[in-house]
A and B are shown apart, each in its own frame.
Chain A
């Protein structure tokens, strides 16, 4: 079974631009979550989608948004990029609420 796939692996953007990251969950998994990892703040929850509906949201500004499609694939978007948005963005999927999350290898975003 293929794991969680995230594209692209690396991305360099300029301040003020916007970016879209993509995630394909493990086949059959309907829950997709997004996390941000930075050296200063560690791993922080962004949001979770289940059956195309946002089920949970972390404490991030409205510039961070996401969506989930009917095939469970998910995208997250960051608008008006800031230098502090430079991070590793991780997507994770799970079969059910309360079952372990399985992570992709992340998208490394650098904002210059």
Chain B
């Protein structure tokens, strides 16, 4: 049972344009959501997070939106840069579970110059 799903395995975008990555979850106990970026042969790098009491969080070029009623979150990257080419994972946790994260399957992003 996949509790966190990223339905797009890959995304190709032109440099300078917006990248939009989507993530859906089923567990209503999840109250903290994170996005990670992963390059080959490296561990995931934390990008941005959002708590369920908010519906938007912004950090530089990265913005995460949370729609609790739809159990959906998205990551917007504006503008996209070639260095953003990587695999992006969304993850979720429930407060009582501490640091136990449930990850989506990842979306591979390719930013074309």
- One of B10-18, B21-29, B37-45 at the interface: B37-45
What count of chain B residues pass the 8 Å CB interface test?
24
What count of chain A residues pass the 8 Å CB interface test?
25
Shortest CB distance A32–B (Å): 9
Question: Per DSSP, are chain A's interface residues mostly helix, strand or loop, or mixed?
Answer: strand
Q: Report the bound CA distance from A35 to B93 in whole Å.
A: 14
Shortest CB distance A105–B (Å): 5
Contact A55 B98 (CB under 8 A): yes
Residues on B with beta carbons closer than 8 Å to the beta carbon of A103: 36, 43-45
Shortest CB distance A22–B (Å): 15
Query: Which residues of A come within 8 Å of B, CB atoms?
Result: 4, 31, 33, 35, 42-45, 48, 50, 55-56, 58, 90, 92, 94, 97-98, 100-106
